[in-house]
Amino acid sequence: MLSYNGVYIYSKVFGKLLCYPLGLPLNCSFALIVSILCGYPLGAKYSCDLYEKKIIDYKTCERLLNIASNPSPLFIIGSVATSMLGNTNIGYVLLLACYISCIIISFIIPGRVHGKKFNDKKNISQSFNINLGNVLRDSIDNGIKTSLSVGGFIILFSVVNSIIKNSFIFHFILEKILIIFKIPKTLLEGSILGLMEMTNGCNTISSCNINYGVKLLIIGFLLSFSGLCIIWQCNSFMSKHGFSLINYSKYKVIQGLLCSLVSYILYLLLYNNSVVTTFKENISISYNINLIFITAIFLLFILPVITYNLKKHIQ
């Protein structure tokens, strides 16, 4: 998509829709779409790629890193809601809360702009000389390296989590905290471990014998904060350009708190017996929505290649 001027195409098609509300230049739409569809840490990766290719400036990229940093719909609805919480509909509440918190954080981070126009005619003419085979090869190499890097971080932090979980010191401190605050042990354990690696934390919290509202407060925070594991994954792309890890982490904490609050409010407003009944009566609608969503993703990915070939034949 980058090689076939996907950045330019998406800025024209989705720029005003996505970037104007978030106070970003139009050419940030590519990173936003990747973040919305694919989740952590690809939003950060492609934000840095845009800066590396000099498509956006340093200040814009610094701001975009926190805005284009969200969990994927597949993880929220599939892994957290369906597999862990056993309720797919809760996933839509969490997904909506993540997107709302992302919009709110865009007003908190300084440096808003009102949608700069994006002109990349020079790169468009150069793209006609790009060989599709070379592009695919480079994309596969890049994808393998990114997957190995992300997988390595997940394994590392899962091992660290396991060491902490089985540590005598951790359980000693946990017992002291439980005596003071009188909260469920599983809830506290999941919250602490989730700060390290959110998947294990969400899984532990989902098994707690407490109401959904409290679970959503903590899981909502973990989803938007992302945990140290994903923060360091993002830092592996940010560090070579000198972006501040502390600044990034600060806004992730704020976004986590916002998502936690919004998740709970949406749960109180939307997730009641009448809504649950409506969902059950119209369960087939969700399958149609998923089919449309998958089709839309496929079309988004092939849009630059289609546009490239049309322009080539016209010229």
Out of 65-79, 103-117, 155-169, which region has the weakest mean confidence (pLDDT)?
Answer: 103-117
pTM above 0.85, yes or no: no
CA–chain centroid gap for 182, Å, is 33
- Cα distance between residue 237 and residue 124, in whole Å: 26
Mean pLDDT of the 51-57 span = 89
Half-sphere exposure of 274 (CA within 13 A, CB side): 3
What share of the chain has pLDDT > 70, as a percent? 81
pLDDT at 281: 41
Average pLDDT, the chain: 81
Given a contact cutoff of 8 angstroms between Cβ atoms, the answer to whether 37 and 301 are in contact is no
- Cα distance between residue 147 and residue 149, in whole Å: 5
Which tens digit of pLDDT belongs to each residue from 39-51? 888 889 999 989 9
Q: Return phi, psi of residue 3, to 5°.
A: -70, -30
- Cα distance between residue 167 and residue 64, in whole Å: 38
Which tens digit of pLDDT belongs to each residue from 265-292? 988 888 755 444 444 444 444 444 555 5
Structure tokens at 259: 């998502």
pLDDT at 277: 43
pLDDT at 293: 54
Which tens digit of pLDDT belongs to each residue from 75-87? 999 999 999 988 8
Structure tokens at 85: 């919480």
Q: Which residues of 185-211 are buried (b: 16+ CB within 10 A; e: fewer)?
A: eebbbbbbbbbbbbbbbbbbbbebeee
Given a contact cutoff of 8 angstroms between Cβ atoms, the answer to whether 93 and 217 are in contact is no
pLDDT at 284: 43
Mean pLDDT of the 187-197 span = 88
Mean pLDDT of the 44-67 span = 90
pLDDT of 307 strictly over 80? no
Q: Band of the pLDDT at 117, cuts 50, 70, 90?
A: low
- Cα distance between residue 229 and residue 151, in whole Å: 11
pLDDT at 270: 80
Q: Return phi, psi of residue 205, to 5°.
A: -65, -35
Helices vs strands, H then E, count in the chain: 17, 0
Of 198 and 112, the structure prediction assigns the larger pLDDT to 198
Of 129 and 12, the structure prediction assigns the larger pLDDT to 12
Structure tokens at 60: 């814009």
Of 132 and 25, the structure prediction assigns the larger pLDDT to 25
* CA torsion angle 81 85 88 89 (round to 10): -100
Given a contact cutoff of 8 angstroms between Cβ atoms, the answer to whether 98 and 74 are in contact is no
- In 3D space, the residue among 263, 250, 261 whose CA is nearest the CA of residue 80 turns out to be 263
Mean pLDDT of the 40-64 span = 90
Q: Which residues touch 173 (CB under 8 Å, ≥6 apart)?
A: none
Evaluate the CA torsion angle 276, 281, 285, 290 in order and state its sign.
positive
Tell me if residue 216 falls in helix, strand or coil.
Answer: helix
Structure tokens at 28: 């940030």
pLDDT at 11: 82
- In 3D space, the residue among 188, 195, 218, 196 whose CA is nearest the CA of residue 84 turns out to be 218
Burial of 279 (0-12, 13-18, 19+ CB in 10 A): middle
- Cα distance between residue 223 and residue 81, in whole Å: 12
Of 111 and 114, the structure prediction assigns the larger pLDDT to 111
Mean pLDDT of the 213-230 span = 91
What share of the chain has pLDDT > 90, as a percent? 24
CA–chain centroid gap for 121, Å, is 31
- Reported as type and span, the H/E element at residue 300 is helix 283-314
CA–chain centroid gap for 136, Å, is 25
Q: Band of the pLDDT at 3, cuts 50, 70, 90?
A: confident
